Amino acid sequence: MESFSSKSLALQAEKKLLSKMAGRSVAHLFIDETSSTVLDELYRVSKEYTHSRAQAQRVIKDLIKVAVKVAVLHRNDSFGPSELAQASRFRQKLRQGAMTALSFGEVDFTFEAAVLASLLAECRDALLELVQHHLTPKSHGRIRHVFDHFSDPGLLTALYGPDFSQHRDKICDGLRKLLDEGKL
């Protein structure tokens, strides 16, 4: 007997459609205004650090695609009990990373690139484990691309340096708001 699931087919179509439209309009369906502001600042940091508009756009587009796909999976109750526990661990690591980033931004001379890079690597691994059976290897590559880009010690050192203080302050304001609202 052929196994057919219209729910599974609809989920595949939704993920495919949204991945093709990973722009600002679709992002606003799943990403709030504060998150959008943080993403815009991350784009500016990436663009200034890499001196490549295309590379900065690619990493933010990959980040949005991954965020939208994970949101679709969560919204459609695609995660089982063990995966929900893994999602909770991922969220906890992400919160820890955000709080560490805030602390480094607020307290002078405390920044350590290795600490933040390690937390981002742990987030990457937790997310990859969570979506292992739900997303394609191409999406797994996007996850690696995003986390590897932002955990680059050179980029992190530049972000916490004097030249990027304006961007860092806006990112920290957004992270603080997301943490206060319980969205992160």
Measured in whole angstroms, the distance separating CA 166 from the mean position of its chain's CA atoms is 21
- Between CA 73 and CA 14 the distance in angstroms is 10
Give the integer Cα–Cα distance in Å for 75 and 83.
14
| Over residues 22-48, mean pLDDT | 78
Which residue's entry shows tokens 């350590």?
A: 112
Nearest alpha-carbon partner for 19 in 84, 71, 74: 71
Domains of the chain, first to last: 6-181 (1.20.1440.160)
In the prediction, which pLDDT does 173 show? 94
∠ CA 52-54-57, nearest 5°, is: 110
Please tell me the predicted confidence (pLDDT) of residue 1.
45
Worst-scoring range by mean pLDDT, 30-34, 83-87, 175-179? 30-34
Which pLDDT score, from 0 to 100, does residue 34 have? Answer: 87
Q: Which residues, at least 6 apart from 158, have a Cβ–Cβ distance to it below 8 Å? A: 45, 49, 164
Instruction: Retrieve residue 102's tokens.
Output: 């805030």
Task: Please compute, for residue 12, the number of CA atoms within 13 A of its CA located in the half-sphere on the CB side.
Answer: 7
Tokens of 39: 């993403």
pLDDT of residue 118: 96
Most confident of 61-65, 106-110, 166-170: 166-170
How many angstroms separate the CA atoms of 25 and 71, rounded? 15
